[in-house]
Chain A
Amino acid sequence: VHLVESGGGLVQPGESLRVSCVASGFSFSSYVMSWVRQAPGKGLEWVSVISGHGRGTYYGDSVKGRFTISRDNSKNTLYLQMDSLRAEDTAVYFCTKGGTSFRDESDYWGQGTLVTVSS
């Protein structure tokens, strides 16, 4: 199993950014996928999750209405569209592979991509 995030960078407050995660080594469409972030020096914060078929999506309160999770199972790729970015969204964003149920653990994590929101 391999998860590779990309798309992070420096953006100004109010701008948008899309990060991606390319997965390999497993049947991508069968598994729940999540985004988890970690602000510098802080703990883990769950951001969003999507079911294997993509019809079930859920968000953390701090990003609800601003972020959109999606997946392209034909490309084994997970996305996170981030709009109206704020300074407090600055973090490393990890892509994680879950199980077939939302209750399952995240058994694989990518190395993360850094998003910095600053003017």
Chain B
Amino acid sequence: SDVLDQPLSVSVAPGETARITCGGNNIGTKSVHWYQQKPGQAPVVVIYYDRDRPSGIPERFSGSKSGDTATLTISRVEAGDEADYYCQVWDSNSDRYVFGSGTKVTVL
């Protein structure tokens, strides 16, 4: 598949938990990376290799994978978390990167 499946949007109240799923392309066998993109800005990696968090990214961001679904979880959501989120894998069978369709997180 050319695109990984993500929900179009997720709405969450401040302080609650947002979960964004990513599926398809047999991602159970691949490493999944997650990016956050705020309006007018370049993307920033928030989770790499399924569950690792870069320095400077709050612990509220976590990643997991079960079967062919990867999940980005944002705990104790803050207004500043409002952004688009994309998952990504490297498909070694076809030598290409595949991005998810993107999920807009809205903080109510």
Tell whether A94 is near chain B: CB-to-CB under 8 Å: yes
B35, B92, B97, B101: which contacts A34 (Cβ < 8 A)?
Answer: B97
A44-B35, A44-B43 known; A105 vs B88 contact (CB < 8 Å): yes
Q: Specify the main secondary structure of chain B where it touches its partner.
A: strand
Q: Are the C-beta atoms of A105 and B43 separated by less than 8 Å?
A: no
User: A13-47: which have CB < 8 Å to B?
Assistant: 34, 36, 43-46
Q: Are A103 and B42 in contact (CB under 8 A)?
A: no
CB <8 Å contact, B49 and A109: no
- B88: chain A residues at CB < 8 Å are 44, 46, 105-106
Question: Contacts A105-B33, A105-B45 given: A45-B99 contact, CB under 8 Å?
Answer: yes
Could you say which residues of chain A place their CB within 8 Å of the CB of B90? Answer: 102-103
Hey, which chain A residues are within 8 Å of B42, CB to CB? 94, 109-112
Partner of B49, one of A46, A49, A105: A105
Q: List 5 A-B contacts (CB under 8 A).
A: A44-B43, A44-B99, A105-B88, A106-B88, A109-B42
Question: Which B residues are within 8 Å of any A CB, using their own CB?
Answer: 2, 30-31, 33, 35, 37, 42-45, 48-49, 54, 84, 86, 88, 90, 92, 95-102
Task: Give the distance in Å from the alpha carbon of A59 to the alpha carbon of B31 in the complex.
Answer: 20
A residues whose Cβ falls under 8 Å from a Cβ of B: 34, 36, 43-46, 49, 58-61, 94, 102-107, 109-112
Assuming the contacts A44-B86, A105-B88, asked whether A58 and B102 have C-beta atoms less than 8 A apart, the reply is no
> Per a CB cutoff under 8 Å, which of A45, A46, A102, A110 touches B92?
A102
Select one of A45, A104, A111, A112 contacting B48, CB under 8 A: A104
Report yes or no: B44 in contact with A109, Cβ–Cβ below 8 A: yes
Instruction: Indicate whether A105 sits within 8 Å of B97 (C-beta atoms), given known contacts A61-B2, A94-B42, A110-B42.
Output: no
Give, as a whole number of angstroms, the nearest-CB distance from B65 to chain A.
14
